A and B are shown apart, each in its own frame.
Chain A
Amino acid sequence: MSWIENRFEEGMIITSVDWAINWGRKSSIWPMTFGLACCAIEMMAVGASRFDIDRFGAGAFRASPRQADLMIVAGTVTYKMASRVKRLYNQMAEPKYVMAMGACTIGGGPYFKHGYHVVKGVDLVVPVDIYVPGCPPRPEALLEGLMRLQDKIQHQSIARDRWTGAKKDAFAAATV
């Protein structure tokens, strides 16, 4: 939760500020360069000119988690990698979002039953905002996931807690 969130009651000014902040956030979702397996190939295709994720302002793949807003977990997360995924997530600055791309990342995929080394869904490690199914997903599916994430960001409000959606009393929040 960022410093500005959950400190105000909803009103005409707040909703206008919300609109501006959310417009800025959703129009420049910078993803992290983070490909783990074959899904990363589709992610690269999305970044290239044919599908062009830059149309949505999300084409600036950052090489550092500290500059990124979105972690696209593209590929099989092994137990060995899970601690690194968690650390990278913790290094990202708020507001941060996670997209689980592909069957392995959503729930273990083909490794669910007999894969001894695969985390059965990256949501066991980090909180996930958007799930993009597929093995691997088509680039269009990833773009769809990005648009749904933009919808999600558009409906955020600084008067609500981002994680729980709860409205808090402004004065109570100020005295904390």
Chain B
Amino acid sequence: MTPEEIADILKDKFGDKLTGQKFETAHPHVVVARDAWHEVAVFLRNDERLKFDMLRCISAVDLLEDEQFEAVYDLHSTNGALNAAQNWTERHEFCVRVRVPRDKPHIDSVADVWIAAEWHEREAYDLMGIVFDGHPDSVEGPQGPHPRRILCPDDWVGHPLRKDYVFPMEYNGIPAVTEHGQTRPIH
């Protein structure tokens, strides 16, 4: 199925919840409103025509100029059977993007739809600070529950891949910035 056909199926079902689309690109995608994303995800997985049973990856994009974050969900369908050439007879892929404002970056978790989203969402929280509500591995933070960090230490401050991230001067007594005449400690 082509991306246009998949988008038509989604439009019939959800209508104005699809806030944008782009097909003349190497990465054809639709943009889904934040409040409808979990519903759309369940539909994408369960619909007989689509059957997107695999979440390839979640990419987080920092749209600093638009004051937005964007989560990019790459979906893949392994529907069908292997043919003699060891290729899947029917498979298609699609991309859905969800945009949230930078000051309130909350997206519904889809870890209950695709189990692969579990650690992808943890990584997206750790490095970009997008909070996935209802994540199964949540911990309590100052601004409510958020996914547990996965790469940085648990007591790390900030989200390193944000464009406005400020490097720490020190972490747990270890000097972190050595450019400003930092001297080496005497052990």
Contacts from A to B (Cβ < 8 Å): 79-80, 82-83, 107-108, 112-113, 116-117, 119-121, 123-127, 163
Contact = CB atoms under 8 A, between A and B. Distances in A.
Nearest to A124: B174
Interface string B133-163: 0000000000000000001110010001000
A79 B171 contact: yes
A83 B178 contact: no
Given A79-B153, A80-B152, A112 B178 contact: yes
A24 B160 CA distance: 48
B160 A116 contact: yes
Contact of B172 (A79, A107, A120, A163): A79
A83 B176 CA distance: 14
Contacts, number: 43
A114 to B, nearest CB: 9
B167 to A, nearest CB: 6
A120 B175 contact: yes
Contact of A120 (B151, B160, B165, B176): B176
A115 B143 CA distance: 27
B184 interface: yes
A120 B178 contact: yes
30 contacts: A79-B152, A79-B156, A79-B172, A79-B174, A79-B176, A80-B152, A82-B172, A83-B172, A107-B178, A112-B178, A113-B179, A116-B160, A116-B167, A116-B168, A117-B151, A117-B160, A119-B174, A120-B176, A120-B178, A120-B182, A121-B178, A121-B184, A123-B184, A123-B185, A123-B187, A124-B184, A124-B185, A125-B174, A127-B187, A163-B187
Interface residues of B, number: 20
A116 B187 contact: no
A162 to B, nearest CB: 12
Contacts of A116: 160, 165, 167-168
Contacts of B176: 79, 120
The secondary structure that dominates the A interface is: loop
A108 B151 CA distance: 18
A107 B153 CA distance: 21
Contacts of B174: 79, 82, 119, 124-125
Contacts of B177: 120
Contacts of A123: 184-185, 187
A116 B172 CA distance: 14
A163 to B, nearest CB: 8
B126 to A, nearest CB: 11
A103 to B, nearest CB: 14
Given A82-B174, A117-B151, 7 more contacts: A116-B167, A120-B175, A120-B177, A121-B178, A123-B185, A124-B184, A125-B174
Contacts of B165: 116
Nearest to B184: A123
B171 to A, nearest CB: 5
Contacts of B160: 116-117
B187 A126 contact: yes
B180 to A, nearest CB: 12
